[in-house]
Amino acid sequence: MPVCRLLVLLFILSVFGQKEAFAVSGQSLSDSTEVVLPLDSMAFQELVISGKKTPMMLKGDTLVFDVSCFFVPEGSKLRTLLERIPGIEVTTDGRIMAQGKEVVRIKLNGRDFFEEGKEMALNTLPADILCEVRLYQEYSDEEEYTGVHRNEGEQVLDVYTYADRSRGWFIDAVAAGGSRKRYQANATVSGFSSRMQGILSCSADNQPAAFGIGESYLDKLSAETNVNEVVRQNYNGILNFFKGPWEVNATAFLNQGETRSKAESTTEYYWKPSQVYAQAQDEKETDTETANFSLDWTYTGNEFAWRTKTYLNRSKYRYKQYSLSETRERYLETVNGVPMDRERALNSNMYMNDGNLDGTGGGITTSLNKSWGEKGSNWDLSAGAYYTRHNEDSYSHADIYYSHADAMSRQVLESHMVKKNLRGFVKGILTWVPCDPLKLQLAYGADGQYDDVDKQVSDLSYVFLDLMIPDGNLPVDSLDKQAHLLTWIHNVRALVQYSVGNWVLTGGVTLEPQRLLLHYVKGNKGIDSVQASCAVLPELTLAYKKQESWGVNLRYLGRRKQPDLTGMLPIWDCTDPLHRYVGNASLRPETNHVLSATFFCFNPDVQRQLNVAANVVANQQTISQQTSFDAEKGAYTVMPVNVDGNWNASCFLDFTTSFRNARRWNLDWKSTVSSASERALQEAYAGQRESLG
């Protein structure tokens, strides 16, 4: 049984200045002091009131950072500011991590402004117009409206602007040029008023990327060099209108990019009877165009709320790839009693592939919530529909040589594939509050999904060792694919929530019957497969919070994961002759048992916070990819299977503090420990795998 363990430690020591200042009045959480001088007071020639601002404070469930306490260079953006705030980390790929969780979206002045544009907010929002950064957990619309929090909230950053700097228009432009016709340009226009806030950003560059990677494993040493030539253009716009109970948010993104990459790698294997090494060369060209548009509107009244979200997206992806790899062996051969160094090729692979992918998608969701009574009883109705379509035209050519079998295989094919997905759902929730400490909730939902694939393969010239039949062609069931999968899931849930003092206990059970209908064509014959099952999924949450100093949360939740059409389709896919895939029609849904515990502690006197999170996930009927490898042919075969016994566990610790006698210094400590057991990943694999970093 393979076991994986990982330990990651991050230690950061930073320094920031605590500025002496005094706010006469303010609108933000950190500027809450107000001073009123009587009219008959004596006149002062000069009045100076000084005090130290608090960089970080806790208000309810919200952690508030005073931006003025963190120095950033003039002209800095939000990314630079967040990198200086204790407990917040911005990764190189634009992800924001806080308290062990990824920030899913960024708000502006309490509104969903950067809901789908975190990267845009990081790189375009000026830091000098911001006064506060708030960090808190936000729950789904359903949980916010009903007041019953079943799941862990999503991490949200809410940035607030100064009142005198959130009116008018701001323009920011940067341009740079270099040798070899290198360029980089960015322009941002921001507008703010009492009823509107918006940002328009345009950028273009052709900055190259070159890097080398060297890794050492238990049985091999690998080295890789990669050079990328990239040309990008991005056009992004966000507009947010609000008046009274109405709020409208529109977002549009248009991204274009071209990439030319070349990679070379060498892998040398240890602990072999002879010395074996592999060399590979890859060249790839891509051309990508993506466009996204979303429009959301919300009405929030005293007892009634309505929210609707719509989106459209379109993508085009063109690619061309050339790959040449060879595995060679150095060995000793005795000739006339004299050992001689020899070298031979075990196998060699040449693979060319080019194609076009075209995707279109859209969807709409709407929800209504009505509350009544003084104790907060309410009902919530929601519905949605989504549609996606993908077209792919591809051409591939592969030549593969196997020395052990002294054979050569060749594959040349053209294919056209259309994949469609249609999904819809309806859901109703009734929450009744008979008395202050007690909430009762009943919910019913129905979810239907239709997946369809139609793949046609032509111009086939194929000879493969273990798949060859008397006429020398590939079996019929490895060519065209015509199949669809219809999934129906019903959801019936009953919950009880009881609150007493600082304690909140929530418990319930979900009954989830489902039906899967698979139809596919194999050998010119239509085949139908039906699966029906029913799951009982309990859940329990216990939470305690002591004012604004510390809190603990324990949660257990049962969940299910459905197999997709690709995983259930028992048709061979040999598009890549080295990585063959076949589905499993008897694949069952996966059940996950999730147990989590979180602890949070905050001390405002020394600006100290501690976050500890532990998670354990035990899986039943895990959908795992079983991989077998043919050493003679150098080919992998992958098939999804259900296995039991898989689990994973992790623990995260985040500790930040200042020092009583050195308040300008700040310590930030992060560590992660994880362990996992994974079965049915690869045949003939035994032992344990551990890593420490």
> What six digits make up the tokens of 375?
């104790």
Q: Are strands 154-161 and 101-108 parallel, antiparallel or unpaired?
A: parallel
Q: 56-165 belongs to which CATH class? A: mainly beta
List the structure tokens of 513.
């019957």
82: left (phi over 0), alpha (psi -120 to 50) or beta: alpha
Q: Is the dihedral of CA 663, 10, 7, 671 positive or negative?
A: positive
Residue 207 makes CB contacts below 8 A (sequence gap 6+) with 182, 184, 230
User: Percent of the chain scored above 70 by pLDDT?
Assistant: 81
What band does 3 get if pLDDT is binned at 50, 70 and 90?
A: very low
pLDDT confidence of residue 683: 44
pLDDT digits over 56-76, tens only?
Answer: 888 888 889 998 888 888 888
Q: Answer with the residue of higher pLDDT: 684 or 435.
A: 435
Tokens of 124: 């375009």
What value does the mean pLDDT of the chain take?
A: 80
The burial of 153, by beta-carbon neighbours within 10 Å (0-12 exposed, 13-18 middle, 19 or more buried), is given as: middle
Q: How confident is the model at residue 473 (pLDDT cuts 50, 70, 90)?
A: very low
CA dist., res. 666 & res. 458, Å (int):
65
- In this structure, the dihedral spanned by the alpha carbons of residues 40, 44, 46 and 49, taken in order and rounded to 10 degrees, is -50
619-638 per-position pLDDT tens digit: 888 888 888 876 666 677 88
Residue 424 in this model has a pLDDT that exceeds 90 = yes
The DSSP H or E segment spanning 568 is helix 565-568
* Domain ranges across the chain: 56-165, 169-462+477-684
Helix (H) / strand (E) element for 7: namely: strand 3-15
Split at pLDDT 50, 70, 90, the class of 329 is confident
Instruction: Give the start-end residues of each E strand in 67-192.
Output: 88-90, 96-98, 101-108, 111-114, 130-138, 154-161, 168-177, 183-192
111 pLDDT higher than 80:
yes
Q: How many residues does the chain have?
A: 693
pLDDT digits (tens, 9 = 90+) for 17-59: 444 333 333 334 444 444 454 544 444 455 555 556 778 888 8
CATH class of 169-462+477-684: mainly beta
Query: Which tokens is 92 given?
Result: 């190189």
On whether the CB atoms of residues 323 and 282 are closer than 8 A, the answer is yes
d(CA 502, CA 547): 8
Band of residue 552 on the pLDDT scale cut at 50, 70, 90: very high
Q: How confident is the model at residue 402 (pLDDT cuts 50, 70, 90)?
A: low
Q: Are 85 and 597 in contact (CB under 8 A)?
A: no
- Determine the residue type at 203: S
Please list, in sequence order, all residues whose beta carbon lies within 8 angstroms of the beta carbon of residue 186, skipping any fewer than 6 positions away.
123, 172, 173, 174, 175, 201, 202, 203, 204
What is residue 28's predicted lDDT score, i.e. its pLDDT?
A: 41
- Range ranked top by mean pLDDT from 247-261, 337-351, 578-592: 247-261
Amino acid identity of residue 150, one-letter, is R
Instruction: Average the pLDDT over 459-474 and give the result.
Output: 47
DSSP state of 77: B
What is residue 245's DSSP assignment? T
d(CA 147, CA 513): 26
Give the other-Cβ count within 10 Å of 171's Cβ: 9
Residue 468 has pLDDT above 50, yes or no: no
Is residue 7 scored above 50 in pLDDT? Answer: no
Higher pLDDT, 649 or 658: 649
Residue 146 structure tokens: 């009903």
Angle at 594 between CA 589 and CA 598, to 5 degrees: 160
Confidence of residue 476 (pLDDT cuts 50, 70, 90): very low
pLDDT at residue 14 tops 70: no
Question: Are 26 and 68 a contacting pair, CB within 8 Å?
Answer: no
CA-angle at 300, arms to 299 and 303, nearest 5°: 130
pLDDT digits (tens, 9 = 90+) for 236-281: 888 888 888 999 999 999 999 888 888 877 777 655 555 777 788 8
Which has the higher per-residue pLDDT, 693 or 368? 368
Q: How confident is the model at residue 662 (pLDDT cuts 50, 70, 90)?
A: low
SS3 370: strand
Q: Which helix (H) or strand (E) holds 487?
A: strand 481-500
Confidence of residue 668 (pLDDT cuts 50, 70, 90): confident
Is 288 in contact with 255 (CB distance < 8 Å)?
yes
CA separation (Å) from 61 to 137, 550, 600, 602, 605?
8, 10, 10, 11, 18
Q: Is 354:321 a contact under the CB 8 Å cutoff?
A: yes
Cα 268 to Cα 436: distance, rounded to the nearest angstrom: 68
